[in-house]
Amino acid sequence: MAFTKIGPASDFLFDRMAGVETSGRDVLVARANGRFYALGNRCTHEGCRLSNGRLRDGKIRCPCHGSVFDPLTGKVLQGPAERPVPVYHIKVENGQIWVDL
């Protein structure tokens, strides 16, 4: 695995998410239910940035058409999206977030 440093874990508040451009990829980093998640930041329906959406009850909702994704698996929980978003391995070491792209 080749992990890329994203930034300080303290930058990601509980039940919040943010888009990060790194290594040529648009990555969504979310902190929900006491854990960190990293996913592709584009909805598989029409490509809207998920980081502009909402994180509620541990689920990510697309701001454009309301598709809902599971941050752990990337699976679609509610359409119109039909395909999951990619999920990346994430770790926190010495207060820093690292993602395997």
Check whether 75 has a pLDDT greater than 90: yes
CA–CA dist 4, 54 (Å, integer) = 25
The percent of residues above 90 in pLDDT, for the chain, comes to 83
The 10s digit of each residue's pLDDT in 33-47 is 889 999 999 999 999
3-state DSSP of 58-90: CEEECCCCCCEECCCCCCEEECCCCCCCCEEEE
pLDDT at res. 22: 87
Confidence (pTM): 0.91
Per-domain boundaries in the chain: 3-100
Domain 3-100 has CATH 2.102.10.10: yes
The 10s digit of each residue's pLDDT in 2-38 is 899 999 999 887 878 999 998 889 999 999 888 999 9
Contact between 37 and 30 under an 8 Å Cβ cutoff? The reply is yes
Looking at residue 49, the DSSP 8-state letter turns out to be B
pLDDT at res. 1: 66
Average pLDDT over the chain reads: 93
Give the mean pLDDT of 45-73: 95
